[in-house]
Amino acid sequence: MSSPATGVAIIGAGLSGLTLALALHRQNIPCVLYESREASLDIGGAIMLSPNALKILDALGVYKNISPLGHNFEKLYFHSDDDKPVDDFVFGSQEKHGYKALRIYRFELINVLVSMVREAGIPVEYQKKFDHIVSESSTSVTWAFADGSTASAKLLVGADGIHSRVRKHLYPDLTPKFTNMIGVTAAVPRAQLQADPNYPLPVTIMSPKHAKAPSARARPRWMGRAAEQQGLVHRFSARRQRRLPPIVANAVSNIPLKGINLWPFYLVPKLDTWAQGRVVILGDAAHAIPPTAGQGVNQAFEDVYTFAGIVAKVQQQKPSDDEKEDAARIGKALKNWQQGRQARVDRVLDLNDKVNKRRLPDAVKAGVFEPFDLDWLYDVDFDKMIAEWAA
């Protein structure tokens, strides 16, 4: 059965979808969330938030609820394999950028967002898997769920992650490419590190060696099997036998199997458009940003805040009698939004390249690094951007 066209329908109640719901609610735009799972996807581990995203979360009332739950810090530290300082990277600064960076468990952030969405009275329908677009008119879009039901809205936003189903409407043949690289992360209690209280954290201790990743074909089976994950834990622990800095040896000395997270790296090519008619994609669905500069979800938060701002601005403009003219107006504003957002994502990709180069063994050996300009990333006026794109 089809329900009547609501304001904005959001596919995916992950970090992008939940935050988008709060951003739209703040602009008095009605929205509904549809999530394929029983609960929002929590792939485990922690994420790091930088001032550009924290400014947005502050405006949405989220920051005050999450700041006490995580580790507030200013710099990421990089050490050599014998635990000597090599480089650092400013991830936040109270004094310079208004916010310290925040490292927080993903489940804590999701829990806060879910409870704020609930308090705002925004409907969330779980176990509703988007399947395909059925039709579009000059005023609404209608789609089908995997269970055969349909629904309609004025706008449909795919916030359904890197393997986005909504993106298939815009790019039917696009499939994300597995890079044969997997990040393996695990959380252990800080006490287990037995580190000096002044030891700088968060730290990355860089190994000059690269581990071999399983083949793309083998990956899904390999990732799913508990026995294989157990093997992975043993491999880590075996490294203790070699000469590793004590902090690393301690960290891997006892990894609970349940605490292991596997993060396969996929690539999505740069997309020409994130909006077609009344269907829009954002967050990981629109741009899968490699993890080097830690900007994946930070950029997703920029997408959702500016998207909600653009929709609100267009709605505030005087409506015309002609539906086609109104549709063209939102189409033009969304094009400006996407181009402006893509320009920032491109700069982040460029920053990723620069950071990657600094991590190469020769660069580490030389120990001479060009300073970064991060002001453009952290000190940004989103409301000004929105006003320009909507004008």
| Site of interaction with ligand FAD (CB under 6 A) | 11-17, 34-37, 40-41, 43, 45, 47-48, 129-130, 159-161, 165, 183, 185, 261, 263, 283-284, 291, 294-298, 300
Closer Cβ to ligand FAD, 130 or 389, answer by number: 130
89 in Cβ contact with 76 (< 8 Å) = yes
Closer Cβ to ligand FAD, 143 or 390, answer by number: 143
Measured from the CB of residue 274, what is the shortest distance to ligand FAD in angstroms? Answer: 12
Measured from the CB of residue 328, what is the shortest distance to ligand FAD in angstroms? Answer: 28
Closer Cβ to ligand FAD, 15 or 29, answer by number: 15
Measured from the CB of residue 318, what is the shortest distance to ligand FAD in angstroms? Answer: 34
Measured from the CB of residue 150, what is the shortest distance to ligand FAD in angstroms? Answer: 14
Closer Cβ to ligand FAD, 17 or 277, answer by number: 17
Closer Cβ to ligand FAD, 169 or 278, answer by number: 169
Measured from the CB of residue 95, what is the shortest distance to ligand FAD in angstroms? Answer: 22
Measured from the CB of residue 259, what is the shortest distance to ligand FAD in angstroms? Answer: 12
Closer Cβ to ligand FAD, 102 or 310, answer by number: 102
Q: Which residue is nearest to ligand FAD (CB)?
A: 14
